[in-house]
Structure 1
Amino acid sequence: MNSEQLGKFRAMLEEMRRDIVSDVEQTISEMTDHQFNTPDITDRATLESDRSFELRLRSREQHLLEKINEAIARIDSGTYGICEDCEEEIGLKRLEARPVATHCIDCKIKQEQREKNIGR
């Protein structure tokens, strides 16, 4: 992968990171600004359900943020775009679709098949 492509992926990853951080800051702001002293029990339950859902989303984003930071570290170390299993290059189309990918499509399919077979 050439330096121009690496720069493109770094910019993509950094934008993803900024978006997540912005979403988290917005969620924190909204949760601290809203008063949840709703006298109606149904309204309170709905608010709590929405809040719980929002926190689950943020938890998933936290996991994605870790993957983004790891991908940026791989760019810095020169290992970005190399499959962790077979050490072949990960296809550009795959990286464009999932810039945090650590496995080529063939190794990822094999990994998912193994996981599926373990769950049986």
Structure 2
Amino acid sequence: MQLERDCYQPHHEESYMNLRQKEFFRAKLVDWRERLDSERQASLQRIRTTDMSGGDVIDQSVKEHDKTMDYFTRRRTETTIAKINAALNRLKDGSYGYCLESGEEIGLKRLLAYPIATLSVEAQEFSEEHQRVHQYSIAL
């Protein structure tokens, strides 16, 4: 049996960040964090149990590559978990769903696509443009 929470989808006609929406995003973030934590644990297990001895040079290279990819994946996963935890903290303090730069609503569509978003589309575009200009000026 599916829970009501599993069937609910936030809608733009509701009041923004009402209790039901907050619970929806909290559950979505917690579920995501749990899945990532499981992946992180599996990755750690693979790193710990990889036997680097034996095999020819190609086998050892493949093992080293796989181990390196596990390290990169683990680091990216840990970064995402930290962002999820920050989003959960924003849910608690009431700032979740609002742009950290402008204070404006991030919007349900963006949060449904990327629940750890901290900037509105406009602020994100401005930030990315600023980074491009900065990188271009450094390249000169």
Q: Deviations over 1:63-99 (max 9, x none)?
A: 1111000000000001100101110111100000110
Distance in 1 (CA, whole Å) between partners of 2:68 and 2:50 is 14
> TM (normalized to structure 1)?
0.95
Q: How far is 1:37 from its partner?
A: 1.2
Extract structure 1 runs of 4+ deviating beyond 4 A: none
3-state SS in 1 of match to 2:126: helix
Q: Contact 2:50–2:63 at 8 Å: present in 1 too? A: no
Find the residue that maps to 1:119 and give its secondary structure: helix
Aligned to 2:89: 73
Q: Residues 88-99 of structure 1: matches in 2 within 5 Å?
A: 88-99=104-115
For residue 40 of structure 1, the aligned residue among 56, 81, 86 is: 56
Q: TM-score normalized by structure 2? A: 0.82
Q: Indicate which of 76, 82, 87 corresponds to 2:98.
A: 82
Q: CA deviation at 1:58?
A: 1.0
Say which of 3, 27, 33 aligns to 1:11.
27
Q: Which has the higher helix share?
A: 1
Q: 1:52 is matched with which residue?
A: 68
Q: CA RMSD in A?
A: 1.0
Identity among equivalent pairs (%): 31
Q: Which of structures 1 and 2 has the bigger CA Rg?
A: 2
Structure number with greater CO (CA < 8 Å, separation at least 6) is: 1
> Aligned partner of 1:48: which letter?
E
User: Deviations for 1:23-77, whole angstroms, at most 9, x for unmatched residues?
Assistant: 0111122232332212311110111011101110111111111100000000000
Count of equivalent residues: 120
